[in-house]
Amino acid sequence: MDQDDWRKQLEKWRELGITGLNLSGGDLEKLLPVADEEDFEIHSWIWVTCYPNKDVMEEHPEWYMVNGNGISCIKEPAYVDYYRWLCPTKPEVQEYIKKRVEDLLQYESLAAVHLDYIRYPDVILPVNIQPRYNLVQDRELPEFDYCYCEDCRNAFKEKEGIDPLDLPDPAKNEEWRKFRLDSIVDLVNMLAETVHEAGKKLSAAVFPTPDIARNLVRQDWPRFNLDDIFPMMYHRDYREDVNWIGKTTHTDVQTIQGTSKNLYSGMIFNSFPVEEVKQAIDLAFENGAKGICVFGGVNDERRDILRKALENHR
């Protein structure tokens, strides 16, 4: 879009009570001057460890994760074709991701870098998504369990004295679990240091609660040095009703209590009944959220509901 298009779009969102945008791609040079005029906060949204980049896969296949059966995610991605994941343990991968972030920091008025897919592949899918793939994941299965590349195996063996492939039950080994949690935490906090040195914020989309995040995708987000957190509270994925958004918000707000982090409850309005939209927004604010994050846009049927609901919480 050109600058006039962006100006009109931001004005429409502002009328709804929206004050910021996590933007994937886009022409920041065109957008940011308009965002400054409209006092609109822009976070540049990037995929991190999930990175199905054709050039990188061809040039550096060794950078990608390997599952418990010894198969690279380039050769056999889990679940969907775009599930090609960089290994966060590798120094070369860390530097590559850091460089991508540094390239964004050149934009003076960019408010933040927004991290998505900052985790491992789902070793277990949310319960309501498993049937899509004809799966019953009542335990961790090796074809969905990452990463067993040589770098991860050597680093763990050096630390703990055993190759993770030799563990009788990797899922029950706390040291192996912690190793992978730490790999993502270390990557995020390295990026946070880079971003904060540039005087900008770091935000991220994360799984809905600390326990779900750790158990399903090896993501220990309470230890991330983030400024803004956008937990993806997609209640239907977990066979929960809309009240779960309130409970989950309460859990997460308690988790970050005493920190300077802001939490925005993440929802997909277009995926649940229109009569629940206001209830979901109210539940988020009543349980301590700084605000909400709308993933996937807002259709016309829900626009006025969103606007009126947000007005009540200003």
Given a contact cutoff of 8 angstroms between Cβ atoms, the answer to whether 153 and 169 are in contact is no
Per-residue pLDDT at 239 exceeds 90: yes
- What is the dihedral sign for C-alpha 158, 100, 14, 108? positive
Instruction: Compute the mean pLDDT over every residue in the chain, rounded to the nearest whole number.
Output: 97
Instruction: Output the pLDDT for position 296.
Output: 86
Q: Dihedrals φ, ψ of 64, to 5°?
A: -95, 155
pLDDT in tens, 103-151: 999 999 999 999 999 999 999 999 999 999 999 999 999 999 999 999 9
Q: Output the pLDDT for position 226.
A: 98
pLDDT tens digit string along 155-206? Answer: 999 999 999 999 999 999 999 999 999 999 999 999 999 999 999 999 999 9
Q: What is the pLDDT of residue 202?
A: 98
pLDDT digits (tens, 9 = 90+) for 265-277: 999 999 899 999 9
Residue 2 φ/ψ, nearest 5 degrees:
-85, 180
pLDDT tens digits, 61-112 = 999 999 999 999 999 999 999 999 999 999 999 999 999 999 999 999 999 9
pLDDT of 173: 98
Instruction: Provide the whole-model pTM.
Output: 0.96
Residues 6+ apart with CB under 8 A from 278: 305, 308, 309
> Can you say whether the dihedral through the CA atoms of 205, 206, 208, 210 is positive or negative?
negative
Select from 268, 180, 258 the least CA-distant residue to 216. 180
The pLDDT of residue 229:
98
SS (H, E, C) the chain: CCHHHHHHHHHHHHHHCCCEEEEECCCHHHHHHHHHHCCCEEEEEEECCECCCHHHHHHCHHHECEECCCCECCCCCCCCCCCCEECCCCHHHHHHHHHHHHHHCCCCCCCEEEEECCCCCCCCCCCCCHHHHCCCCCCCCHHHCECCCHHHHHHHHHHHCCCHHHCCCHHHCHHHHHHHHHHHHHHHHHHHHHHHHCCCEEEEEECCCHHHHHHHHCCCHHHCCCCEEEEECCHHHHCCCCHHHHHHHHHHHHHCCCCCCEEEEEECHHHCCHHHHHHHHHHHHHCCCCEEEECCCCCHHHHHHHHHHHHCCC
CB count within 10 Å of CB 43 equals 24
